[in-house]
Amino acid sequence: MATPPHAPLKDGCPCPPPTGSSSVPVVTCRSRWIPHSERPSLSSCRWRTSPHPKRTPTPKVRPPRSSLQRPRPPISLSSMRRVLLVLLLLLCACATTGEPAGTEATAWAHGFVFADHDGDGRKGIFERGLRGVAVSNGRDVVRTDWRGRWRLPADDDVTFFVVKPRGWMTPVDENGLPRFYRIHRPAGSPDDLKFPGVPPTGALPASIDFPLHRRSEWRDFSVLVFGDPQAYTLQEVDWLGRDVIAELAGTEALFGLSLGDLVGDDLALFEPLNRTIGSLGIPWYNVIGNHDLNLDAIDDAHSDETFERVYGPPTHAFQVGRVHFIVLDDVVYAGRGEDGASGPYAGGLTDDQLVFISGYLAGVRRSDLIVLVMHIPLLGPFPHQVPQRRELMEILSRHPNTLSLSAHMHMQQMHFLGPEDGWTRPEPHPHMNLGTTSGSWWRGAPDEQGIPHATMRCGAPNGYWIFEFDGNDYRARFKAARRPASYQMEIHAPDSTRENASSKTEVVVNFFAGSSHAELEMRVSASGPWLPLEHVERQDPGYAELFEREKSLRPPNGWGLPPRVDSPHIWAAKLPADLPPGTHWLEVRARDRFGAVHHARRPLRVLPAENSD
């Protein structure tokens, strides 16, 4: 059959090639069959005319494969070493980002860490998982894969938690308590505890998912730190609210921390305390203390049942900016006695905690700042110390920027750990044992507002700390409750002295946040020379007078002031000789270890020399 005019040709173009040419179409029609009415004219087709007749290509004969291959050289010893090194590094990476090696578990928990865009706490179809986020069961640490998925061994008493990464935040409840964990305790807490613990959780869920939402985190941020709120009664919760919380309304701090002893053994006060602190409207993390325990528990393992129900795992971690906070339960409880009485406690860490710290830090950038927060200090008299501090410092020594915080002692003291404590870096590790918001357990005479003055036995007032972080650096300052921010020291000196006795008159300064790294100087009158003061450890003379004065006083909570102790932040010096008679300003200048300079002044009257006759 003849081809109709302008019918589609074999190559798919409806236009015939020019007569007498060996041409090929440059652009062919998109459809092989086009309706007659839509066919293009001959002038619209583009043809490329070849000057030579089309040749049939000659197939190339590929030489045998064996002739193209080069003989493989033997593998050298150095190459084998490189291969083994790569394999070793991959195994090490699996230890921190994969599943726990060599773990024998009765079950495995699975889940996702995901971006919770709609804020409902459930992983939606279009809510992506987050890669590289640390998840732990309190011992093992894994990081999520590219889908945001994690997998960890589980038993019948375990709490899984996500480590909040930089730029993300976990949900918080109405009191600002972060919700970053999932407790798995099928049978629940023991039924014989005075204060309720964790209710039965049932079987292990098919998927335990942790929601996170985006949060802007600047390089610099501030944190409020409370030592021992330690409310024994609802009245003391109210004192905390009026003495400390009221002046912090509208704070610009990013979050807050309480360093244990939140209450005084009455765990029913957790809820009113949380509501009082939660009124600040910022996230608030809490450390467990020895007065936050289920004292009727039979052992240490069951002594934190109520704390876990309210606050979550007592050991965990979270990251803000370039700072990694590791919260530690360093209280070891012996359990109640056979007579039902409360047992003793001591400071200490478990092997699981040390494994968790090491595993988490293995995936942390070396130059980041690591901050450990705990209740019982690393150093102190037994049982107020952590015997495992050497093992802890050996792990921490891999990082050049570190800090640790504690409370518990109801006084302020700065420690600097060195080789004798397991710290291996040239610069000592700073451990700040902070004063408390409850001061001396809310003791002391009531002030004009009916709140006990609560002066601590080291002579420092009750108050709190403000930490300011900038990248991997930090500064800290103490703030006395309901006092000006400039109130950083107290000068103890007589109101007057004689002209010929000034060189025998001693000036004693209590620099509340001082340490062995602080420098203090004094001068008399604006034109006088600056004279150094010597760092000494002795009782604060002001507290000694206060203690004697209030011996016969019955304070509102029935407790008198605690006994006097040597204060670690006292400086002393004698006045210069031959001061002229008159009233002078005695001025003290203190430079703390962060470089901040503080001033205090008081008048000093110099009387004429007594007549020797």
Residues 372, 404 contacting (CB under 8 angstroms)? yes
Strand spans (E) along 275-434: 284-286, 316-320, 323-327, 331-333, 345-347, 369-373, 402-406, 413-417, 429-433
CA distance 102 to 57: 63
The chain-wide mean pLDDT, for the chain, equals: 87
Of the options 3.30.590.10, 3.30.200.20, 3.40.50.2300, 2.60.40.10, the CATH number for the domain spanning 489-607? 2.60.40.10
Q: What band does 74 get if pLDDT is binned at 50, 70 and 90?
A: low
- Whether the per-residue pLDDT at 33 is higher than 90: the answer is no
Q: Which of 56-65, 233-242, 403-412, 440-449 has the weakest average pLDDT?
A: 56-65
Is residue 149 classed as helix, strand or coil in its secondary structure?
strand
Residues 9, 33 contacting (CB under 8 angstroms)? no
| All residues at 6 or more sequence positions from 280 whose CB lies less than 8 Å from its CB, including other chains | 176, 224, 245, 248, 249, 251, 256
Q: So what's the pLDDT on residue 98?
A: 53
Q: So what's the pLDDT on residue 99?
A: 57
Selected residue with higher pLDDT from 612 and 373: 373
Q: Which of 99-103, 172-176, 524-528 has the weakest average pLDDT?
A: 99-103
Q: What band does 382 get if pLDDT is binned at 50, 70 and 90?
A: confident
- Whether the per-residue pLDDT at 31 is higher than 90: the answer is no
Q: Which residue type does 102 have?
A: G
CA distance 128 to 134: 16
Question: Is the domain covering 168-480 a CATH 3.40.50.2000 domain?
Answer: no
For range 194-209, the mean pLDDT? 96
Residues 168, 208 contacting (CB under 8 angstroms)? no
**Pairing status of strand 345-347 against strand 316-320:** unpaired
Range(s) within the chain of domains with CATH label 3.60.21.10: 168-480
488-508 pLDDT, tens digit each: 999 999 999 998 888 899 999
Helices 389-396 and 351-361: angle between axes, nearest 10 degrees: 10
Q: So what's the pLDDT on residue 6?
A: 44
Number of residues assigned to the chain: 613
Range(s) within the chain of domains with CATH label 2.60.40.10: 489-607
CA distance 430 to 432: 6
Q: So what's the pLDDT on residue 338?
A: 87
Q: What band does 20 get if pLDDT is binned at 50, 70 and 90?
A: very low
CA distance 299 to 88: 41
CA distance 283 to 263: 19
